[in-house]
Amino acid sequence: MTLLLGMGWGALGVLVIAVGAIFGVWWERKVSARIQMRLGPQQIGPAGSLQMIADVPKLLFREDIIPARADRTLFKLAPLIVFAPIAIAMVVIPFTSGWAPMDMSVGVLFFLAVPSIESIALLISAWASHNTLSTLGGLRGAAQLISYEVPRSLSVLPLVLLAGSLRPLDIAQRWEWWWFPLTLVAFVVFFIASLAEMNRGPFDMPEDESELVAGYFADYSGMRWAIFMMAEYGAMIVASLFAATTFLGGGWPLSGAAGTVLMVVKAVALVTVIMWVKWTLPRVRPDQLMSFCWKILTPLALIQLVVVGVVLIWL
Amino acid sequence: MTLEVIAFTLAGLLAAGGAVAVLFVREAMRLMIGLGSFLLGVAGLFLYFGLPFLATAQVFVYVGGVLVLMVFAVMVVHRQADDRPVMEVRHDVGAAAVALAVTVTIVACLRSVVGDALPTPGVYSGVLADELLGPKLLVFEMAGALLLTGLVAVLTIREGEDR
């Protein structure tokens, strides 16, 4: 029964991410247009909101091209592996203060562990394309994912210390307003490390269009390309939901259904900030990226951990 | 056949299939996928036995860390125009003998050390934390220091060779 329930939630997670990606693309177009003083989509539906109804069939019916030199089996497999971990990670997020699709005693660790499988998919797609630009993009992406996993994991630990549990539901239930100022540095570290983990600007070097065309998925087209994009938007949604429920107190100060709505609003606000950052800041260089991770973010996360550890003694 | 049995069978097949692939597939990237399948299968078996902490740690450390580094190493292999790099093993019998000896040693050690004292599934992560940070704290820290020493030694040896 548990297995069936898990599969059901998995399917729902995929649906949420797919629908979220469709709205995310429209929202990003509007946000980027606003930043660049343009209008963005506006012709189809109110404020161009139905533009994606035209875009999705376009992607579905576009020719599916597989390069002659590509490893066909791995080329087809990679988009599936890149998408699955994002959908799976979503199941441990508490959508209200007392309920998560899957209540797991080590949910926080699960949330951090499962998306790391994505880096393998990224490398497989780069390898399967058999193309120099893709290979470079894949290598960049994997190095970035491995490095930023460290500050990202460390940044969640203060919350685990405060809640005394690795269960996301416990963190959501025990959250108090003063946790936010206390773990503000950890929240910023988590946010920046998540940007790098999802390959979003200014850390989008793996798909750097001015140097690598589209990096590890440069040879993909049609629906396979769309799956990569869905995975990117899925990662944004899942990381924002997790940050909203743990660092920002979920539905606080409301509760019940209104709390869930407020939690989603907080997540949408975070997604908007992610887009804002991408369309405002210039892309960093690979050496700057690594230096920032190891010399700034990781020490900051460690200092935050020590501060919370010291504060805990006085509580 | 219950769903639990189906889940167990799937995890077992994933692990066994991955292990067979590691043994018999020679193409580097497919071999890595086989290894990934094996590691995920083992994580599934841990979950089946009610050990979610071990299952998650297995995915975090081995799939998300060690395997990614191995795939990364394969990626930087020089490829000719249309070839797919293959693994060439020159010491099949010797490698099998070492693997068997290590397995026998581990099983023998675990049988004598752990015996019937395996913690109850379900409260495993708590018991594990109490053990590691309680009476076995010194051993735990020493194991960490030993690993760190090993890493520093490897770096030093490599630097010497480079010179």
Q: pLDDT tens digits for A39-71?
A: 777 777 777 777 777 777 887 788 778 887 778
What pLDDT is attached to residue B96?
A: 82
Q: Verify whether the Cβ–Cβ distance A113 to B60 is below 8 Å.
A: yes
Mean pLDDT across A127-152: 84
- Indicate whether B30 and B67 sit together in one domain: yes
Q: What DSSP element (H or E) covers A117?
A: none
Q: Please, what's the largest Cα pairwise distance for chain A?
A: 65
At residue A99, φ and ψ (nearest 5 deg) are: -145, 135
Q: Verify whether the Cβ–Cβ distance A105 to B52 is below 8 Å.
A: yes
**Which are the contacts of A137, defined by CB distance < 8 A and separation ≥ 6?**
A126, A206, A207, A208, A212, A214, A215, A216, A217, A218
Band of residue A140 on the pLDDT scale cut at 50, 70, 90: confident
- Indicate whether B65 and B114 sit together in one domain: no
**Cα dist from B19 to A121, A292, B32, B88, B114, whole Å:** 20, 39, 11, 17, 26
Answer with the residue of higher pLDDT: A157 or B53. A157
The answer on pLDDT for B129 being more than 80 is no
Q: Verify whether the Cβ–Cβ distance A3 to B7 is below 8 Å.
A: yes
Q: Verify whether the Cβ–Cβ distance A110 to B52 is below 8 Å.
A: yes
Type of residue found at A235: A
What pLDDT is attached to residue B112?
A: 67
- Indicate whether B52 and B76 sit together in one domain: yes
ipTM: 0.78
Answer for the pair A278, A204: CB distance below 8 angstroms, yes or no.
yes
As a whole number of Å, the end-to-end CA separation of chain B is 63
- Indicate whether B32 and B56 sit together in one domain: yes
From the list A113, A127, A135, the residue facing B64 with the nearest CB is A113
Count CB atoms within 10 A of the CB of residue A76.
14
What pLDDT is attached to residue A269?
A: 93
Cβ-Cβ contacts under 8 Å, B72 against chain A: 123, 139, 142-143, 146
- Indicate whether B70 and B100 sit together in one domain: no
The answer on pLDDT for B120 being more than 60 is no
The answer on pLDDT for A151 being more than 80 is yes
Band of residue B83 on the pLDDT scale cut at 50, 70, 90: low
From the list A1, A104, A120, the residue facing B67 with the nearest CB is A120
- Indicate whether B135 and B98 sit together in one domain: no
Domain containing B69: what range?
1-88
The answer on pLDDT for B113 being more than 70 is no
Chain B neighbours among A 146-185 (CB < 8 Å)?
146, 149, 166
Cβ-Cβ contacts under 8 Å, B121 against chain A: none
What pLDDT is attached to residue A25?
A: 83
Measured between alpha carbons, how far is B69 from B152 in angstroms, rounded to an integer? 18
Size of interface A-B (CB pairs under 8 A): 84
Chain B contact present for A68, CB below 8 A: no
Mean pLDDT across B71-88: 71
What pLDDT is attached to residue A184?
A: 92
Cβ-Cβ contacts under 8 Å, A116 against chain B: 59-60, 63-65, 68
The answer on pLDDT for B152 being more than 80 is yes
Mean pLDDT across A24-48: 81
What pLDDT is attached to residue B39?
A: 92
What pLDDT is attached to residue A187?
A: 94
- Indicate whether B95 and B79 sit together in one domain: no
- Indicate whether B10 and B36 sit together in one domain: yes
- Indicate whether B105 and B70 sit together in one domain: no
- Indicate whether B77 and B67 sit together in one domain: yes
Query: For chain A, what percent of residues have pLDDT higher than 70?
Result: 97
From the list A104, A138, A149, the residue facing B52 with the nearest CB is A104
Residue with token string 């743990």: A246
Candidates B51, B56, B74, partner chain A, best to mutate (most A CBs within 10 A):
B56
Chain A contact present for B123, CB below 8 A: no
Count of structural domains within chain B = 3
pLDDT, chain A, mean: 84
Chain A neighbours among B 41-80 (CB < 8 Å)?
52-53, 56-57, 59-60, 63-65, 67-69, 71-72, 74-76, 79
Query: For chain A, what percent of residues have pLDDT higher than 90?
Result: 16
Answer with the residue of higher pLDDT: A154 or A21. A154
Band of residue A75 on the pLDDT scale cut at 50, 70, 90: confident
- Indicate whether B60 and B19 sit together in one domain: yes
Cβ-Cβ contacts under 8 Å, A113 against chain B: 56-57, 59-60, 63-64
- Indicate whether B14 and B81 sit together in one domain: yes
Closest by CA to B12, choosing from B36, B51, B44, B34, is B44
What pLDDT is attached to residue A1?
A: 59
At residue A19, φ and ψ (nearest 5 deg) are: -65, -40
Band of residue B125 on the pLDDT scale cut at 50, 70, 90: low
What pLDDT is attached to residue B101?
A: 92
| CATH number of the CATH domain containing B83 | 1.20.120.1200
Q: pLDDT tens digits for A235-289?
A: 888 999 999 999 988 877 888 888 889 889 999 999 999 999 988 988 888 888 8
- Nearest 5 degrees, angle CA A184-CA A119-CA B10? 110
Cβ-Cβ contacts under 8 Å, A145 against chain B: 68
The answer on pLDDT for B82 being more than 90 is no
Q: pLDDT tens digits for A152-175?
A: 999 999 999 998 888 888 888 888
The answer on pLDDT for A218 being more than 80 is no
